[in-house]
Structure 1
Amino acid sequence: MASYAIIGGTGLTELPGLSIREAINLETPYGMPSADIIKGEFAGSEVLFLARHGHPHRIAPHQVNYRANLWALKQLGAEAVLAVNAVGGIHRDMRTGQLVVPDQIIDYTWGREHTFFAGDMEHVTHVDFTHPYDEALRLRLIAALRECGCSHSEHGVYGCTQGPRLESVAEIARMERDGCDVVGMTGMPETVLAREIGLPYAALALVVNAAAGKAPGPITMAMIEQALQQGMGDVRAVLAEFLAD
């Protein structure tokens, strides 16, 4: 059985039901991860859990040390990664509360440390990123969603923006023209870094608001927090079903 790592996003700085055996503070060649990595048991499986934004939630999306996070999980024995993301809905089918298993991603970020292959290298290294997410993991997540009966989408293009601000109406219109279905701030470079170090990676995204211009009125943090509280129970149920399989 693979050793799974779960990267929790906004709304999942803790994993209720996780039996903690050890909290590991691990320095990497790229600095410190966002938080101690929790080693324990969840749904009958050994897992590693890392809060992407720290615990408590304190690290903005553009300041997450994605390289340290992925490197540390790999060093501690992770063989695959399940990432949880909070996103905004762009496509009309991506309603608040919907769970999405993305199959493609577009990167709109800038200035982030986005690769392990940098600096004084002996040769240039390229990785294939045609299909950003591991298909076997995606299919298992989809099976878990079906088993749990959660409202979900089995495909989606994740557009990753810089943050920490939300997007303008014009920016969301541009992203929609580009083919994006949901918008978030943490999908990149996390997804490609996992690919670079050979970690199969898939994401489970929770839609917590309609993106700018897709609903009347402004987007408030109160709306997002309410959606997170309502939706994270489904996220935990899907993760438990996935791991129990």
Structure 2
Amino acid sequence: MAESADIGIIGGTGVYDSGLFSDKKEVKVHTPYGEPSDAVTIGEYAGRKVAFIPRHGKCHRIPPHRINARANIWALKQLGVKRIVAPSAVGSLSFDYKPGDIALPDQFIDFTKGRNYTFYDGGQVAHISMADPFCPDLRTIATDVIGKLGFTFQQKATYVCVEGPRFSTRAESKFFRDVMKADIIGMTLVPECSLAREAEMCYLSIATVTDFDVWADMPVTSKEVIETLHKNVEKTKKLLAELIPAVPKERVKCACESALEGSLL
């Protein structure tokens, strides 16, 4: 494939166009796993080639449980992407994580139910290590960049991923908060994160808190989430604008590119 990029951005709710690129070109990528969420936009920013794909498709037409994460990750891999930056919207399970805050997850708990979780469905089996799911190098870089921007953020968070598209019951929300000790809740991290690891790609989750989940006795609606999210989209874009040029071209401070070593049977 003639087009290529080094950094991939998977845009979450509200981030359907990075708004950063020059020399943009849309590329349709065919994968063994079906169609990606949308065409991939490849462009240049700060001297770096970047590929952008909207996780839910343009106009938010794909619900979280129907996102073809295997096709999205495969498409970016085919384009040469080595690092993925993945903004997403999340709810909060703690008063320490307030609407408008940014969180950099360092762990996740999977409560999804029926997704395609691996590229290795048979013939060859991979037991990929997910002890530390996110690229430590990208997390360090993002921490420095967010600090310089002066945004309120949490350096660590346990993200519980649920199936969706419905929101949690109050009992579920309290269970995730009080029993599982999760900090934030969303619907899209899994299996996107683990598939990136199988593809030996660095992966960074940037979670923007949009609301307190229902444990706080403040019922949430999609309208409220979107209203808060829109206020944070520019913040996310400013972060991406500073983060992209800060990412080094060589991967020397993480082991993401050799994640499959010892994992294949």
TM range (shorter): over 0.9
Match of 1:32 in 2: 35
8 Å contact from structure 1 (residues 44, 243) kept in 2: no
TM-score (norm 2): 0.88
8 Å contact from structure 1 (residues 18, 40) kept in 2: yes
8 Å contact from structure 2 (residues 40, 52) kept in 1: yes
Q: 1: distance between equivalents of 2:47 and 2:242?
A: 10
Q: 2: distance between equivalents of 1:183 and 1:215?
A: 16
Q: Which runs of 5+ in 1 are unaligned?
A: none
Given residue 166 of structure 2, which amino acid in structure 1 is its aligned partner? R
Of the candidates 101, 106, 126, which is equivalent to residue 103 of structure 1?
A: 106
Count how many residue pairs are aligned between Structure 1 and Structure 2: 241
C-alpha displacement of 1:43: 4.2
Q: Give the 4+ runs in structure 1 shifted more than 2 A.
A: 17-21, 42-45
Where 1:213 maps in the other structure, the secondary structure is helix
Relative to structure 2, which stretch is displaced further, 171-180 or 16-25?
Answer: 16-25
Q: 1: distance between equivalents of 2:187 and 2:66?
A: 11
Given residue 8 of structure 2, which amino acid in structure 1 is its aligned partner? A
Q: 1: distance between equivalents of 2:114 and 2:23?
A: 35
Match of 2:78 in 1: 75
C-alpha displacement of 1:79: 0.8
Where 1:188 maps in the other structure, the secondary structure is helix
Q: Map residues 170-181 of structure 1 onto 2, 5 A cutoff.
A: 170-176=171-177, 177-181=179-183
8 Å contact from structure 2 (residues 159, 185) kept in 1: yes
C-alpha displacement of 1:46: 1.6
Match of 1:190 in 2: 192
Match of 2:160 in 1: 159
Match of 1:146 in 2: 147
Q: Deviations over 1:52-104 (max 9, x none)?
A: 00012100000000000000000001011000110000022110000000000
Q: 2: distance between equivalents of 1:43 and 1:150?
A: 22
Given residue 54 of structure 1, which amino acid in structure 2 is its aligned partner? G
Where 1:147 maps in the other structure, the secondary structure is helix
Identical pairs, percent: 37
Match of 2:240 in 1: 239
Of the candidates 13, 17, 20, which is equivalent to residue 14 of structure 1?
A: 17
Q: 2: distance between equivalents of 1:95 and 1:43?
A: 32
Where 2:24 maps in the other structure, the secondary structure is strand
TM-score (norm 1): 0.95
Alignment RMSD: 1.2
Q: Is the alpha carbon distance of 1:62 and 1:183 closer, same or farther for their aligned partners in structure 2, counting shifts above 3 Å?
A: same
8 Å contact from structure 2 (residues 20, 241) kept in 1: no
Q: Map residues 197-236 of structure 1 onto 2, 5 A cutoff.
A: 197-216=199-218, 218-236=219-237
Relative to structure 2, which stretch is displaced further, 59-68 or 225-234?
Answer: 225-234
Relative to structure 2, which stretch is displaced further, 95-104 or 218-227?
Answer: 218-227
